[in-house]
Amino acid sequence: MEKKGGEMKTVRLTAKDFIGEYSRVYSGKALDYDINLEIEKDLGWVRFDRINVAGYICAESGTGIEARESIKAGENIKVGTNIKARWNIIARWSIEAGEGIEAGESIIAGWDIEAGENIKTGWNIEAGTNIKAGNDIKAGTNIKARWSIEAGNDIKAERNIKAGESIIARGSIKAGWDIEAGESIEAGEDIEAGYGIQAGLLIACKREIFWSTQMYAGVLIKRKTKDSEKTITCGKLSPRDGATIECGIVKEIGLPKSKIKEKNENDR
């Protein structure tokens, strides 16, 4: 079904446009580029070879989208459950999924990237504003947001994690290379960088901080910072050989009892 929305045509797909009851594969004609794409609710997974539209993509509640290649939209991508692509997921504006977002290569949005569960990619995750997940955020190379990165569990990148404002995880924050935030870096468990850690304001976690080169806290230059905004608070500092703290007020509060017990058992 097609309908006009302003100057751009809107194409709405329903169950009859797909083959299969549980693994629905798109069976219609090739989708035009200059359209908005809507998919009705409660279809489960719907599968395409690829999607590339100039307008928005909206799959209603109970419907998820999977592509053998890439999914691209000139405006927003919003999906009721999951969105998955073998290659890239790219939106000029925002990408939002009620459950997970997964790409074999990169996930890129001009504005927000938000998932109720996990965000996972083989290469980069990059947002013009915020990245937020209810569970994990994991990238095979870099995670980058102009504003904040926030996860209900872990944030992990094989290379760099960088945010213009804050990086916050209820679990651990781990980067193979550097971790850098314009404001604070906060984790409920460990913070670990293969190289250095830099925060414009405080760095805090409940367990250990691992790094190999230099660590800076409270280096914000756009305004004067208070001592409370320059702290490095953790259960234990665990610098690797030659690692230094170049700026920051250290507060080691001791490891949680469960962590101490775990370390003792591992030492046996």
Asked whether residue 264 is domain-assigned, the answer is no
Whether residue 131 sits in one domain with residue 175? no
Question: Dihedral of the CA atoms 211, 217, 221, 226 (nearest 10)?
Answer: 180
How confident is the model at residue 268, as a pLDDT? Answer: 47
Whether residue 188 sits in one domain with residue 72? no
Whether residue 103 sits in one domain with residue 12? yes
Angstrom CA distances, 240 to 47, 215, 217, 224, stand at 47, 12, 18, 31
41 burial class (0-12, 13-18, 19+ CB within 10 angstroms)? exposed
Write out the two tokens for 256: 């949680």
Asked whether residue 158 is domain-assigned, the answer is no
C-beta of residue 141 within 8 angstroms of C-beta of residue 125: no
Whether residue 86 sits in one domain with residue 54? yes
C-beta of residue 62 within 8 angstroms of C-beta of residue 81: yes
Asked whether residue 37 is domain-assigned, the answer is yes
Write out the two tokens for 169: 């995880």
How confident is the model at residue 243, as a pLDDT? Answer: 98
Asked whether residue 157 is domain-assigned, the answer is no
Helices (H), 97-226: none
Positions of the chain with pLDDT lower than 70, given as ranges: 1-6, 258-268
How confident is the model at residue 266, as a pLDDT? Answer: 58
pTM of the full structure: 0.93
Asked whether residue 120 is domain-assigned, the answer is yes
Domain extent, residue 79, equals: 1-147
As a whole number of angstroms, the distance between CA 174 and CA 120 comes to 14
Whether residue 138 sits in one domain with residue 15? yes
Whether residue 139 sits in one domain with residue 8? yes
Structural domains counted in the chain: 2
Whether residue 132 sits in one domain with residue 246? no
Per-residue pLDDT tens for 34-64? 999 999 999 999 999 999 999 999 999 999 9
Write out the two tokens for 135: 């569970």
Strand partners, 174: 156, 192
Asked whether residue 265 is domain-assigned, the answer is no
